[in-house]
Structure 1
């Protein structure tokens, strides 16, 4: 039975081949250690759930939809500047905004999709 071919490393600009099912080569795997952690390990545990629910009660409308003149219920608390594991930025309420799922998904796919890594 034939096996699946190796795939390129998912790190931007890296063309090394890795076994199918592996995302990153040995060199880049440490840079993406947060990609394999659970949401609990990333900080989105019980405390986050309580804080985000309270934030949504205080800010019930989607910020982006409001800017377009629509009134849509917010369901997600978004970090305006992605925290990338920085706990101070993660808990900074001035870095939070209320978004509907549609706006949050669009923001994540367009603005937060390709992180900039500094070495």
Structure 2
């Protein structure tokens, strides 16, 4: 009878040194809820309307692809500035991949 071999896991281990957290002093670290930071009912309504008007991801379009947008992104991070938060000219429609990956990388370089 053949002996069974133990297979090594193909799942990479998390490098905890590379895990980034929200920086101390960030507007996100306050004790405010997302609604108190501006992401309440009024934002949800504005976001839904913007996505109806701009249904495609602008970054996918720039790459020559057609992908539905699911996120309204602030082009210039507002960092709690409500005037910049509500400025529609500072909004863009993105798919979740571009918002979660590419946009976050770009902001980290700022």
Please confirm whether the aligned pair reaches a TM-score higher than 0.5, indicating the same fold: yes
Q: In the alignment, what sits opposite 1:79?
A: 74
Greater helix content = 2
1:13-49 CA distance string (max 9 Å, x none): xxxxxxxxxxx5xxxxxx3353243211211000000
Structure 1 CA distance for aligned equivalents of residues 48 and 57 of structure 2: 14
Instruction: Report matched runs for 1:35-114 at 5 Å.
Output: 35-36=29-30, 37-113=32-108
For the aligned residues, what is the CA RMSD? 2.1
Whose relative contact order is higher, 1 or 2, with alpha carbons under 8 Å and at least 6 apart?
2
TM-score (norm 1): 0.66
Greater radius of gyration (CA):
2
Runs of 4+ aligned residues of structure 1 deviating over 4 Å after TM superposition are none
User: Is 1:34–2:28 an aligned residue pair?
Assistant: yes
Distance 1:65 1:11, change over 3 A: closer
TM-score (norm 2): 0.71
